[in-house]
A and B are shown apart, each in its own frame.
Chain A
Amino acid sequence: MKLAYWMYAGPAHIGTLRIASSFRNVHAIMHAPLGDDHFNVMRSMLERERDFTPVTTSVVDPHVLARGSREKVVNNISQKEDLQNFVDRASSYSESDVILADVNHYRINELQAADKTLEQIVRYYLDKARREGFLNRSLTDDPSANIIGISTPGFHNQHDCRELKRLLSEPRISINQIIPEGEFLKNLKDLPRAWFNIVPYREMGLMAANFLEKEYGMPHILTTPIGILNTADFIAQISKIVNLWSFSLIEKKVNYDLYVENQTKFVSQATWFSKSIDCQNLAGKEAAVSGDATHAAAITKILVREMGIRVSCSGTYCKHDADWFNEQVQGLCDETIITEDHIEIGDTIARIEPSAIFGTQMERHIGKRLDIPCGVISSPVHIQNFPLGYRPFLGYEGTNQISDLIYNSFNLGMEDHLLDVFGGHDTKEVNIKSLSTEKNNIHWSYDAESELKKIPGFFFAKQNNISTITVDVMYAAKEKLSS
């Protein structure tokens, strides 16, 4: 037993439900007690989903349990056999395919379960198509790709997907399929027709991609196109893969260098921004980064390599991916922190006192507590992370969005600080008539009064054992604090 207050990733069944409700014609049935379907509420409210969430709870009540499954729950294997029997019988009754989600609630979390469920579904349908002779193994005529891992309610997933399509359109890569979001299961048999797979978030989709590589020889690109450098790398990898086949299939080689250059220099504002003067002011400032492995690693790279900002500490709650994460941020930050314990992360941030934090909603709250500005760059999410406007993290538009986020986070912090130093947010209080009517023994001159508004607090005086506040003391305090 462990005393727990907060978790970053949800429980396993949430992952499975995410995949199930992303596919077009899939319905998930949970044999569960009342209330376990709060996933429906989350999805409906966060994504402002217009349609009913395709998840139903087949309510378990004491009578059901009394009929025998009580004892068997303790033994996981028996339970699985029990449910598998149920699934097999259900398949014979209904026209739809019935699959039992193969996830162990105690061992894996939401992300791992989603990954596994997606792989399970892909495998099931490809195996079925192969058995029944429907599998089409011929590659598409023109270069095409599958995007694996866009799901609901993912962090800016919808926007990222749109941007990926845009990113692939100029190099004329068509989209074969996007799974699971919005895809029909019957189309899964055509997955192997694409030239390669793209996995934008390694937490969700890697297992399916590995399966497709092993069974169908499909290469996949693991680089996430977040940031100028990563996006260029992403495109370079695409051209490499395309050129493997292009000569025989489309009788020419492709070169996207000009595209990348144009985008980097002119379409994305990020490169120019990092050269501009106000970005130079950010150089040397310190940041702390935390989140899922994909986003935390990518943001760390952007901060250090593209904007010259120092990252004191970078971390992730994806413990199972620690090796990959450490490898990615090696040399880019002073220390790494791999943990699911938000208290540990909070203590670390409190210790380093960065100028800005880039993390999840939990880090945003840590930032509020410590009075450090925070930009949100990863799930877990709140409703603010589902903006109606177009806000991708991937691709060239993504670089603009991220630059804005970084700049504003640092600057808002500066702004608050300066406002504190120079005496408050309202500088219009020139007329102090009210004080003359107060029965006060102390009389403040008008000038002193206005100076009073600029004091950064008597704290400074106390610290320096000063008992009489003169104008000199006030100025000294202001100087001390603005340095």
Chain B
Amino acid sequence: VKNFEIPAFECETGNYHTFCPISCVAWLYKKIEDSFFLVIGTKTCGYFLQNALGVMIFAEPRYAMAKLEEGDISAQLNDHEELKKICLQIKNDRNPSVIIWIGTCTTEIIKMDLEGIAPKLEKQIGIPIIVARANGLDYAFTQGEDTVLAAMAHRCPKYKNSELRQEPTNKIDNSSQIKINNSSNNNFIYERIELPKSKLVLFGSLPSSVASQLNLELKRQSILVLGWLPSQRYNELPSLGEGIYVCGVNPFLSRTATTLMRRRKCQLIGSPFPIGPDGTRAWIEKICSVFNKTPVGLNERENQIWKAVQDYTRIIKGKSIFFMGDNLLEISLARFLIRCGMVVYEIGIPYMDKRYQVAELLFLQQTCKKMNTPLPRIVEKPDNYSQVQRMHELKPHLAITGMAHANPLEARNINTKWSVEFTFAQIHGFSNVQDILELVTRPLRCRSGIMSDFQSLSKQT
């Protein structure tokens, strides 16, 4: 019987900084190659995205703002007509396979009926339109991706049982290739036995190379992934429905998980997330158990990785870390770093879905027990100001913080690392463990002679 006691956590309901969820446009438009993102908002939204996209904005990304003006707010102009004009322009300029409307705070407040207008407009212009409400009133940062994927899930084709071959028996030959020696010209021909695709769909936006790596890991366990949500192209969305298992790769995708379960009738595989070798192993193990496969070589693989990153773990063993919290990856990252031998004082996190993250939280507990370190304090909706005070007292070796606080904390002699880098670095799977550790150890390795003499480089306290 599993012990379902999860770590206690508190909700500070404080003032904290994180990015607006429309920031998800910055990576999703790149991931879904035939998409166009239309953010329907005000100058504030546009200005933020302009800064977030940085120099990318000059490369004419597949993104634009439908800038709301006074006439739109006071309902003098017809929303349907205005949006139609804009979408036609987008169709002419870019001709995407799908237009994704991102609703913002303003559209929330004025109750613009995007979900009502979209289907009608879709028929008129002949391009699918998906509506996702990624606004800062309801969501934080990476949850923007969650709302987009949850909306996209409705567009996945319906899975028909006859599409796939029957589930193979347990005794499957692990080798999927036969080597045939063609003696005429001494070349080997490899003939592949097609492994039937497992009824597994993975969800979460990852760079294609990382997705391929995870696919490969599962293939080694004779599980062929059916598809990903989101897929590289809109027209390649995986089939969903009863009989399909879904598994997430990121901790902030609780709404997508719920939509897949309730609306598309899929089975959710709950597991820790594939971040860090321990997380990746646990993730693969869980999936294997669901598909009745005995995992092969996983322990060796994990140990091999730990051995390979010894130099890094040596640097961080015994050091302490404090997560201020902004990208919702904090629990997984903390768990991994605890496994590396660090002590985590506090994990700030904007929002945590306890059900979706239950496996990760349990894993965190187990890891703390295994490494004999105290369970970190988990604070939802933290108050940044109080956290800074706590950091002054606790004096962690490293603080993971947002860009608004990084410089001031450095000036006060607290080593920092930008949390946003973990959002955009490749941190999933076995192959990328070094990348995470590189990020974490860099501030700890970088301390040169001159700086250590100064207590504080700020004149303020």
Contact = CB atoms under 8 A, between A and B. Distances in A.
Interface residues of B, number: 67
Interface in B1-41: 15-23, 40
A3 B21 CA distance: 21
B408 A35 contact: no
A41 B68 contact: no
B296 interface: no
A59 B388 CA distance: 19
A38 B64 contact: no
A70 interface: yes
A326 B459 CA distance: 45
A31 to B, nearest CB: 11
A49 B408 contact: yes
Most buried by B among A35, A42, A60, A70: A35
A105 B42 contact: yes
B70 A62 contact: no
B75 interface: yes
A141 B421 CA distance: 56
A258 interface: no
Interface string B221-249: 00000000000000000000000000000
Contacts of A266: none
A11 B105 CA distance: 15
A2 interface: yes
B42 A1 contact: no
A402 B105 CA distance: 43
A169 interface: no
B51 interface: yes
B136 A6 contact: no
B402 A41 contact: yes
A95 B194 CA distance: 75
Given A5-B57, A10-B47, A38-B20, A65 B404 contact: no
A447 B136 CA distance: 67
Contact of B66 (A3, A13, A368): A3
Contacts of A32: 136
Nearest to A55: B404
Interface string A53-78: 10011111110010000100110000
A35 B18 contact: yes
Closest 9 pairs (CB-CB, A-B): A35-B20, A33-B136, A40-B404, A11-B43, A1-B82, A34-B136, A50-B411, A365-B58, A35-B136
B406 A44 contact: yes
A11 B44 contact: yes
Most buried by B among A11, A33, A74, A365: A33
Interface string B424-461: 00000000000000000000000000000000011110
A57 B15 contact: yes
Contacts of B77: 1
A58 B70 contact: no
B404 A44 contact: yes
Interface in A1-44: 1-7, 10-14, 32-38, 40-42, 44
B259 interface: no
Given A4-B66, A35-B18, A38-B52, 19 more contacts: A1-B85, A1-B86, A2-B66, A3-B86, A4-B64, A7-B47, A33-B105, A34-B21, A35-B21, A35-B136, A41-B17, A44-B405, A44-B408, A45-B407, A49-B407, A58-B15, A62-B137, A106-B73, A107-B70
A73 to B, nearest CB: 5
Given A35-B19, A38-B20, A45-B403, A51 B460 contact: yes
A48 B457 CA distance: 12
A52 interface: yes
Contacts of A107: 70
B407 A11 contact: no
B44 A41 contact: no
A73 B109 contact: yes
12 contacts: A3-B66, A7-B46, A7-B47, A10-B47, A11-B47, A33-B135, A34-B141, A35-B140, A36-B20, A44-B404, A50-B460, A52-B404
Contacts of A3: 64-67, 86, 89-90
Nearest to B411: A50
B109 A51 contact: no
Contact of A57 (B17, B55, B85, B135): B17
Contacts of A12: 43
B115 interface: no
A76 to B, nearest CB: 9
A73 B64 CA distance: 25
B51 A42 contact: yes
Nearest to A2: B67
Interface string B86-127: 100110000000000000010001100000000000000000
B353 interface: no
A312 B67 CA distance: 32
B190 interface: no
A49 B23 CA distance: 24
B458 A50 contact: yes
Most buried by A among B15, B16, B70, B388: B15
Chain A contact residues (Cβ within 8 angstroms of B): what range? 35 or more
Most buried by A among B89, B404, B459: B404
A361 B293 CA distance: 56
B19 A38 contact: yes
Contacts of B52: 38
Interface in B369-399: 385, 388
A61 B137 contact: yes
Contacts of A53: 404
A41 B404 contact: yes
Contact of B57 (A6, A57, A62, A73): A6
Interface in A104-120: 105-107, 109
Given A1-B82, A4-B65, A65 B51 contact: no
Nearest to A63: B137
A365 B55 CA distance: 9
A41 B23 CA distance: 14
Contact of A105 (B16, B43, B141, B407): B43
B19 A74 contact: no
Contacts of B136: 32-36
Contacts of A65: 109, 137
A299 B100 CA distance: 43
A34 B18 CA distance: 7
A109 B388 CA distance: 33
A50 B140 contact: no
Most buried by B among A1, A14, A45, A106: A1
A62 B137 CA distance: 6
A10 B404 contact: no
Contacts of A4: 46, 64-67
Interface string B45-87: 0111011100101101000111111101111010100110110
B426 to A, nearest CB: 23
Contact of B47 (A14, A33, A51): A14
Contacts of A33: 20, 105, 135-137
Nearest to B405: A52
B251 to A, nearest CB: 18
Contacts of B22: 35
Given A1-B67, A3-B66, A35 B109 contact: no
Contacts of A40: 17, 404
Nearest to B86: A3
B15 A59 contact: yes
Contacts of A34: 18, 20-21, 136-137, 139-141, 350
Nearest to A53: B404
Most buried by B among A41, A70, A105, A365: A41
A7 B50 CA distance: 8
Nearest to A32: B136
Nearest to A38: B48
Contacts of A70: 109
Nearest to B65: A4
Contacts of A57: 15, 17
Contacts of A38: 19-20, 48, 51-52
Contacts of A62: 137-138
